[in-house]
């Protein structure tokens, strides 16, 4: 046999193709160098055989995409035959090039028909296969074989160098078609092969780290998106802590530090000839945003600083800004770009709660770039418009908080609220009515943004209507916390400040109706802050909505919140940074401008003809009258009956005042005389009205009533509790009765009460500066104590002698008459109706009486009655009332012994515990939730104590 008849040996890559089996049910295939003349209609006909199907599957670990249809990096087209007992192998190398482009074209989404690639244009029905593409594929397969099996460092180095010219980084780069095919089809295969070969011994095949540097260059210089995905895949597939895991993690950190993440994002923004594969884009989005989570789970304690969320998302924000700069430059050059992928990255990062980091890097630069630059403004508008609806709330919340003023927000968002229903819902309802975490400057920016443009001002009016409707809802007042009510009140005042009088005139009737309804509901509230909010908003809103009518004026205490809300009634200056100039200062209510000018130290114009210089008395020194006392012509009474007579029938007002001031001391000094007229004196004091301007009148009257009640507790308490439910008493008098009963019970339950009462009755104690001559007995005892030597000292001082609790005998007179008739309405008094303020005070009083009756014989029936009272009113809508009920429950748990609670009130405790858990979780009032948690802790301590007792 001559040399011409000897066939050359098959190349090494031919062994990688499995032998083909011929099925008896399928006709033989045509030769590989002949393609059918007819056009491939779809993916099923890519590899034409009877009853064959093509499935798209991801590559498994360690599997190369050789000999497969490269529809996308990391995926292959697998042909499955439906013929019985027939095995159909993967298509050979010669078959793939002819059908790869057809298969990829069939995967294009409907309606997206781009121009055919250069590879498809070169194919001809009779051309067999493309020699250029076959050469690239063969070169890659040979290189992969060498990299997978060779241990020769020089051979590996030369093989990697030969692959570098496909990346265009050598002196003789490959043709553009070859580079495109290598980057689109074969580059992930090479990277996965490099990852598999990574080991300490393999890197040491060449000295001085030459092989490691060349190995890393493929990840740092090739297509960024594919390199990033292969890196993340290698890190996630690494088994535990290993050399390969740490090497890939450090390479990824280097990948981020050299700015390759911007290349990943920019590759998705450039509009290419073929649309991006949707699954690839979704995978890339998930990996980019969740990189800190993946790396934290894999590296654990060995995590790098670059992968921490606070550092990574700050870097991601800077990379997004670099890509936006590239988009703007491309638009200037006439190239089309898309920011949809950037919008998805921004939205997903904000959903994960990283608005502060990513927007902290974006907003300051965008604020400067969009100032006076229309193209940058359009790019920012499109960036936010393309955010998915599910992430719109998170992005807008972060932007509103990060933007320093309404003008900046307008430049970043444009008229987004008029184009997107989701954005309109978030900006006009979600951030105003459903959430109340925004600060006052953020609220100013939000509402100022709505007022900036004429197209957005109707939304500001709509927001004001909804705010006033919510502000005037009685249900909202009962079921929203005080912080949210303050937030809605501030938003209402800011809206009123931005709207003009002509805009308010068109819907004056509707706004006034909501305003008046809210004022009535808030003035009926039991909480002073709620009533104060109603007064402030009513004053400001009525003056803005109906300036022609008489102004409303209320009396309330001014604090920081009050001054802040009055300042919000004035429009803020429209600047980029409202915090730079500070809020406008609200004028003091009722202040005269002339007085304000005088107080500020400004010049005042003197009236003509005044002789102020001649009449000036500045040279006279004022006389010190601080030590003078007012002369009283009347003499203070010395008997209790004289006080009763002076308070009832006397027309001498000085004697009347002297009797009121001396009454408390006389009652404690003469308790027997006080008991004779105790009920009569209590009646006089209960109906006593201030007839002169007596300083501290309410305190004097209350202390006198408490003294009478303590002196004769049974009779006076019986009288006061009966008068609490009597007719023709004002709410103020009924609350005075509750306060007196509480203070008297507190005084009766204290040990050593009589000694204190006698000291208070004897008159005021001497001043510390006055010298009081000590008695001879005290002097002698002090000398003996200083001269005596004691070897063993006991306690430093003798403790108080044990005395019985005086409240024990009369607790029933205080408690049970108050709790018996709360559910029986009277003509002028309805505790379960409009008089809920008194009902809340009653609940607090009953809880205080229960706590003061600790360890008394009547405590158990009192606790049972109080728990029944709580159980009836546990769903009351007033927050002040619920606080009183929760305090009463805590008083029961603190006053009764654990054994008695378990023996006498087991069912009540179980029901109360479930109610407390529900209140602690769902009650809108923060104080109620706190009190419920404290009561639950008391129940837990009670259970532990019972378990400890049972174990002994």
> So what's the pLDDT on residue 803?
66
Cα distances (angstroms) measured from residue 624 to each of 627, 631, 770: 8, 17, 22
In angstroms, the Cα distances linking 683 to 93, 636, 648, 911, 924 are 111, 21, 11, 42, 42
CA separation for the pair 81, 53 (Å, rounded): 6
Instruction: Give per-residue pLDDT as tens, 296-324.
Output: 999 988 899 999 999 999 999 999 999 99
Q: How many helices (H) and strands (E) does the chain have?
A: 47, 2
**Taking residues 419-436, what's their average pLDDT?**
92
∠ at Cα 48 (47, 53), nearest 5°? 70
Q: Choose between 687 and 95: higher pLDDT.
A: 687
Nearest Cα to 701, choosing from 660, 641, 758? 660
* Cα 329–Cα 332–Cα 336 angle in degrees, nearest 5: 85
Confidence of residue 629 (pLDDT cuts 50, 70, 90): low
| Enclosing H/E stretch for 786 | helix 776-787
List of long-range contacts for 498-507, beta carbons under 8 Å, 24+ apart: 498/447, 498/448, 498/450, 498/451, 498/460, 498/571, 499/451, 499/457, 499/460, 499/461, 499/464, 499/544, 501/544, 501/547, 503/457, 503/461, 504/544, 504/545, 507/461, 507/465
Judged by average pLDDT, the poorest of 272-286, 668-682, 734-748 is: 272-286
**How far is Cα 16 from Cα 142, in angstroms, rounded to an integer?**
11
3-state SS track over 541-557: HHHHHCCCCCCCCCCCC
Position 409 scores a pLDDT of 93
pLDDT at residue 28 tops 80: no
- Tens-place pLDDT, residues 438-478: 899 999 999 999 999 999 999 999 999 999 999 988 888 88
Confidence band of 120 (pLDDT split at 50, 70, 90): very low
Domain borders along the chain are 640-751, 824-950
CB neighbour class for 13 (10 Å; exposed up to 12, middle 13-18, buried from 19): middle
With cut-offs at 50, 70 and 90, classify the pLDDT of residue 425.
very high
Whether residue 71 has pLDDT greater than 60: no
Q: Tell me the C-alpha distance between 218 and 167, whole Å.
A: 9
Q: How far apart are CA 475 and CA 309, in angstroms?
A: 42
Residues 205 and 259: beta-carbon distance below 8 Å: no
Residues 285, 896: Cα–Cα separation, whole Å = 62
Largest CA distance in the chain: 154
Give Cα separations from 597 to 125, 586, 592, 836 (angstroms): 96, 15, 9, 46
Three-class DSSP category at 617: coil
- Other beta carbons within 10 angstroms of residue 388's beta carbon come to 14
Whether the CB-CB separation of 56 and 67 falls below 8 Å is answered with no
Whether the Cβ atoms of residue 935 and residue 893 lie closer than 8 Å to each other: yes
pLDDT at residue 109, as a whole number: 36
**DSSP letter at 879?**
H
* 3-class secondary structure, 924: coil
Could you give the 3-state DSSP secondary structure of residue 58?
strand
CB 44 within 8 A of CB 65: no
Q: Nearest to residue 636, comparing CAs of 613, 616, 653, 659?
A: 659
Tell me the three state secondary structure of residue 400. helix
At 140 the pLDDT is 87
pLDDT at 850 over 60: yes
Contact 508, 500 (CB under 8 A): no
pLDDT at 596 over 70: no
**DSSP code, position 55:** E
Half-sphere exposure for 740 (CA within 13 Å, toward CB) = 33
CA dist 544 and 538 (Å) reads 10
Query: In the structure encoding, which two tokens stand for residue 760, read together?
Result: 């208070």
Instruction: For 700-719, write each residue's pLDDT tens digit.
Output: 889 999 999 999 999 999 99
User: Residue 12's pLDDT band (boundaries 50, 70, 90)?
Assistant: very low
Task: Tell me the two tokens of residue 366.
Answer: 């965008």
**Poorest-pLDDT segment among 236-240, 338-342, 359-363, 396-400:** 236-240
Distance CA 66, CA 137 (A): 8
N-term to C-term CA, the chain: 107
Mean of pLDDT values over 870-886: 90
Q: How confident is the model at residue 134 (pLDDT cuts 50, 70, 90)?
A: low
Per cent of the chain over pLDDT 70 is 74
Question: Residue for token digits 């619920």?
Answer: 882
Task: Give the residue from 42, 112, 100, 70 showing the smallest Cα distance to 273.
Answer: 112
Q: What is the mean pLDDT of residues 735-760?
A: 77
* pLDDT tens for each residue of 51-65: 444 444 444 444 444
The pLDDT assigned to 246 comes to 92
Tokens of 940: 């837990």
Using 50, 70 and 90 to split pLDDT, how confident is the model at 276?
A: low
Q: Which position has the token pair 């809880």?
A: 847
270 beta partners: 337
Taking 60 as the threshold, does the pLDDT of residue 522 lie above it?
yes
CATH class (in words) of the domain with range 640-751: mainly alpha
Would you place residue 890 in the very low, low, confident or very high pLDDT band (cuts 50, 70, 90)?
very high
Q: What is the mean pLDDT of residues 414-440?
A: 92
589 vs 489, 537, 555, 558, 562, CA distance in Å?
A: 19, 14, 10, 10, 11
Q: What is the mean pLDDT of the chain?
A: 77
Give the list of residues 6+ apart from residue 11 with CB closer than 8 angstroms, or none. none
Of the pLDDT bands very low, low, confident and very high (cuts 50, 70, 90), residue 603 is very low
Please return the burial class of 275, using the count of CB atoms within 10 Å of its CB with bins 0-12, 13-18 and 19+.
Answer: middle
Question: What's the pLDDT band for 866 if we cut at 50, 70, 90?
Answer: very high
pLDDT of 380-417, one tens digit each?
999 999 999 999 999 999 999 999 989 999 999 999 99
């Amino acid at each position: 046999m001559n040399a011409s008849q000897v066939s050359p040996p098959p190349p090494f890559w031919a062994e990688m193709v499995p032998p083909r089996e011929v099925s008896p049910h399928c006709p033989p295939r045509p030769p590989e160098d002949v393609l059918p003349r007819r056009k491939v209609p779809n993916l099923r006909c890519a590899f034409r055989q009877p009853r064959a199907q093509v499935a798209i599957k991801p590559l498994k670990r360690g599997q190369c995409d050789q000999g497969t249809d490269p529809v996308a990096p990391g995926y292959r087209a697998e042909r499955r035959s439906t013929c019985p007992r027939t095995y159909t192998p993967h298509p050979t190398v010669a078959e793939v090039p002819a059908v790869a482009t057809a298969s990829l074209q069939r995967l294009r989404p409907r309606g997206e028909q781009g121009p055919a690639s250069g590879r498809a244009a070169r194919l001809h029905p009779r051309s067999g296969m493309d020699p250029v593409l076959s050469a690239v594929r063969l070169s890659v397969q040979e290189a992969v074989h060498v990299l997978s099996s060779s241990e020769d460092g020089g051979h590996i180095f030369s093989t990697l160098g030969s692959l570098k010219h496909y990346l265009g980084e050598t002196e003789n780069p490959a043709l553009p078609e070859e580079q495109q095919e290598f980057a689109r089809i074969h580059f992930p295969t090479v990277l996965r092969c490099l990852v598999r070969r990574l080991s300490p011994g393999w890197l040491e095949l060449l000295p001085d780290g030459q092989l490691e540097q060349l190995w890393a260059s493929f990840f740092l210089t090739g297509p960024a998106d594919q390199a990033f995905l292969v890196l993340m895949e290698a890190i996630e597939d690494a088994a535990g802590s290993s050399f390969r895991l740490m090497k890939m993690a450090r390479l990824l950190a280097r990948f981020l530090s050299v700015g390759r993440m911007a290349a990943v994002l920019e590759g998705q923004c450039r509009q290419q000839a073929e649309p991006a594969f949707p699954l690839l884009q979704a995978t890339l989005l998930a990996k980019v945003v969740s990189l800190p989570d993946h790396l934290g789970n894999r590296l654990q304690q060995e995590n790098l600083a670059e992968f921490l969320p606070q550092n990574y998302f700050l870097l991601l924000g800077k990379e997004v800004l670099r890509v936006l700069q590239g988009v703007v430059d491309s638009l200037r050059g006439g190239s089309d770009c898309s920011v949809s992928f950037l919008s998805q990255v921004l939205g997903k990062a904000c959903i994960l709660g990283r608005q502060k980091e990513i927007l902290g890097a974006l907003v300051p630069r965008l604020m400067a770039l969009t100032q006076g630059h229309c193209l940058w403004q359009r790019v920012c508008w499109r960036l936010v418009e393309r955010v998915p609806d599910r992430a719109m709330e998170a992005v807008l919340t972060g932007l509103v908080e990060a933007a320093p003023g309404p003008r900046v927000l307008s430049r970043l968002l444009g008229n987004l609220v008029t184009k997107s229903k989701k954005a309109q819902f978030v900006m006009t309802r979600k951030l105003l009515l459903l959430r109340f975490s925004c600060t006052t400057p953020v609220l100013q920016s939000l509402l100022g943004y709505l007022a900036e443009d004429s197209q957005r001002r109707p939304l500001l009016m709509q927001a004001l209507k909804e705010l006033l409707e919510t502000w005037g809802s009685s249900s909202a007042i009962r079921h929203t916390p005080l912080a949210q009510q303050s937030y809605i009140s501030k938003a209402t005042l800011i809206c009123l400040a931005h709207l003009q009088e002509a805009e308010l005139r068109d819907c004056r009737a509707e706004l006034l109706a909501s305003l008046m309804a809210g004022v009535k509901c808030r003035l009926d509230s039991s909480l002073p802050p709620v009533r104060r909010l109603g007064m402030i908003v009513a004053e400001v809103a009525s003056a803005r909505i109906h300036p022609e009518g008489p102004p409303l004026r209320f009396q309330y205490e001014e604090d920081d919140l009050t001054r802040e809300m009055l300042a919000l009634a004035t429009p803020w200056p429209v600047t980029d940074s409202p915090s730079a100039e500070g809020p406008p200062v609200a004028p003091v209510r009722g202040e005269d401008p002339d007085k304000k000018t005088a107080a500020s130290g400004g010049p005042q114009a003197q009236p003509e003809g005044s002789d102020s210089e001649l009449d000036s008395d500045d040279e006279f020194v004022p006389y010190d009258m601080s030590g003078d006392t007012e002369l009283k012509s009347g003499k203070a009474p010395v008997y209790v009956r004289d006080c009763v007579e002076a308070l009832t029938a006397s027309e001498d007002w000085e004697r009347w005042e002297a009797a009121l001031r001396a009454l408390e001391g006389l009652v404690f000094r003469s308790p027997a005389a006080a008991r004779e007229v105790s009920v009569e004196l209590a009646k006089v004091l209960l109906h006593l009205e201030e007839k002169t301007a007596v300083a501290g009148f309410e305190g004097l009257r209350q202390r006198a009533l408490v003294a009478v009640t303590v002196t004769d507790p049974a009779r006076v308490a019986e009288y006061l509790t009966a008068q609490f439910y009597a007719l023709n008493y004002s709410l103020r008098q009924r609350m005075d009765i509750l306060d007196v009963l509480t203070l008297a019970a507190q005084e009766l339950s204290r040990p050593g009460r009589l000694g204190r009462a006698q000291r208070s009755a004897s008159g005021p104690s001497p001043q510390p500066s006055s010298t009081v001559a000590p008695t001879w007995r005290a002097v002698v005892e002090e000398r003996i104590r200083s001269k005596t030597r004691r070897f063993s000292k006991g306690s430093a001082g003798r403790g108080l002698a044990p005395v019985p609790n005086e409240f024990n005998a009369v607790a029933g007179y205080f408690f049970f008459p108050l709790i018996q008739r709360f559910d029986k309405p009277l003509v002028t008094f309805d505790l379960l109706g409009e008089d809920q303020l008194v009902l809340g005070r009653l609940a607090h009083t009953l809880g205080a009486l229960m706590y003061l009756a600790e360890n008394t014989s009547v405590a158990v029936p009192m606790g049972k009655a109080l728990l029944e009272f709580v159980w009836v009113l546990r769903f009351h809508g007033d927050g002040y009332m619920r606080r009183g009920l929760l305090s009463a429950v805590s008083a029961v748990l603190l006053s009764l012994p654990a054994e008695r609670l378990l023996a006498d009130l087991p069912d009540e405790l179980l029901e109360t515990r479930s109610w407390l858990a529900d209140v602690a979780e769902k009650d809108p009032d923060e104080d109620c939730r706190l009190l419920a948690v404290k009561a639950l802790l008391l129940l837990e301590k009670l259970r532990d104590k019972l378990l400890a007792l049972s174990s002994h």
